[in-house]
Structure 1
Amino acid sequence: MFGYRSSSPRISLTSEKMHIRTVAERDSWLLTDYYQENRDYLRPWEPLRDESYFQHHGWDARLQLMGIQQKQGEAFYFLLMDPNQQQLWGVANFTQVIRGCFHACYLGYSLAAAQQGKGLMFEGLSVMIPYLQKQQHIHRIMANYMPRNQRSGALLQRLGFEKEGYARDYLKINGQWEDHVLTALITPTAR
């Protein structure tokens, strides 16, 4: 049902309803369109974005940096797409990858307004997370959400993330400091 196909540094995964792959430099128009179309929908959940975030040239520069980070194993930026890879449905980013004795990262994600309520992010993360755990040896994946974002909280709980704390004024979202619930998913290990 699910499969992994990887060639460094590109990662390509499949699920029942979608194709999932890491970003490439050619994706600037795809990401520009995604963020332009979902600008108002995503605004309450994201940091303030400068205008370059909604323009092709801004994504050209951003994708170069993202490519370097992926090549070095410091981050993995995934696109959730229709099976024919014509439409971008959402993004999921595993960033700030720390190796050594920690083997951890942070998870962030968004889904297009038109794709909400279809179980796509759950399906996509159900493929990406095992890849990060098994192939990249990530032991701890941390994901934080604003208390009012009940959908995100329910998604993380369904995926097995456990609440570890509460941080006041944790991130500046849409121009305001927001509290966040801190969660993590730990890769099971034999003790």
Structure 2
Amino acid sequence: MLLTTARTRIEILNPEESHLLLNFYQQNREHLAPWEPIRASEYYTKEYWHNAVAGNQTHFEQSIGFHFVALTAERDQVIGVANFTNVARGAFQACFLGYCISKPFEGQGYMTEILEATIDYLFTEQKLHRIMANYIPDNKGSERVLEKLGFEREGYAKRYLKIAGQWQDHILMSKINPLVE
């Protein structure tokens, strides 16, 4: 699976390539800490990422999760990730979106570029109807990205997720597929 944008290669990694995600999360540990759950030390190990990437590949093969990794053209550095999880089929045809960007690529439009390509894939190829994304009110970067992509605010959830060791409120957003009736 390969999607391309003007500046990225977006792929579902193989377990043999899990070192790319390990490096990404090790290098961005402090950068991502305010927006993620507190991670156990195992999260930053080769074994953890090998198993996670193997699971991600299985999710892709079963069309129940899409864990996209955006790479530089040289495939030597992860720019960001876009995870479409908890894919529900049947009458719902929806999923949740989570994403993050490497600090050196932040604020340059990469996340919008990555999400445009991956959302297009989910809407056109997977025929999903709804993609839901939530963000902490203080995360203005996520707010801007989601608004640029046409996500609409649907609600406010108090103490929704335990992020950085605290139960955090979240703004609930979604984007509806204009191509599916």
Q: What is the TM-score when the length of structure 2 is the normalising length?
A: 0.97
Match of 2:37 in 1: 47
Q: CA deviation at 1:51?
A: 1.0
Which of 73, 97, 113 is residue 63 of structure 2 equivalent to?
A: 73
Which of 155, 161, 178 is residue 171 of structure 1 equivalent to?
A: 161
Match of 2:86 in 1: 96
Match of 2:74 in 1: 84
Structure 1 ranges of 4+ moved more than 2 A: none
Greater relative contact order, per chain length (Cα 8 Å cut-off, separation 6+) = 2
The answer on 1:185 being equivalent to 2:153 is: no
Match of 2:129 in 1: 139
Q: 1:190 to 1:175 in 2, by over 3 A?
A: closer
Residues 38 and 164 of structure 2 are in contact (CA less than 8 Å); yes or no, is this contact kept in structure 1? yes
Residues 171 and 178 of structure 1 are in contact (CA less than 8 Å); yes or no, is this contact kept in structure 2? yes
Which of 43, 48, 56 is residue 58 of structure 1 equivalent to?
A: 48
| Amino acid across the alignment from 1:38 | N
Deviations along 1:137-183, whole A, 9 cap, x unmatched? Answer: 01100000000001101110000000000000000001110000000
User: Where in structure 1 are there 5+ consecutive unaligned residues?
Assistant: 1-10
Residues 20 and 80 of structure 1 are in contact (CA less than 8 Å); yes or no, is this contact kept in structure 2? yes
Match of 1:109 in 2: 99
Residues 103 and 138 of structure 1 are in contact (CA less than 8 Å); yes or no, is this contact kept in structure 2? yes
Which of 10, 14, 33 is residue 4 of structure 2 equivalent to?
A: 14
Choose 36-45 or 66-75, whichever is displaced more: 66-75
Q: 1:87 to 1:100 in 2, by over 3 A?
A: same
Residues 163 and 181 of structure 1 are in contact (CA less than 8 Å); yes or no, is this contact kept in structure 2? yes
User: Where in structure 2 are there 5+ consecutive unaligned residues?
Assistant: none
Q: CA deviation at 1:60?
A: 1.4
Aligned-residue CA RMSD (Å): 1.1
Q: CA deviation at 1:190?
A: 7.0
Q: Give the match's secondary structure for 2:91.
A: coil
Residues 142 and 182 of structure 1 are in contact (CA less than 8 Å); yes or no, is this contact kept in structure 2? yes
Q: What is the TM-score when the length of structure 1 is the normalising length?
A: 0.92
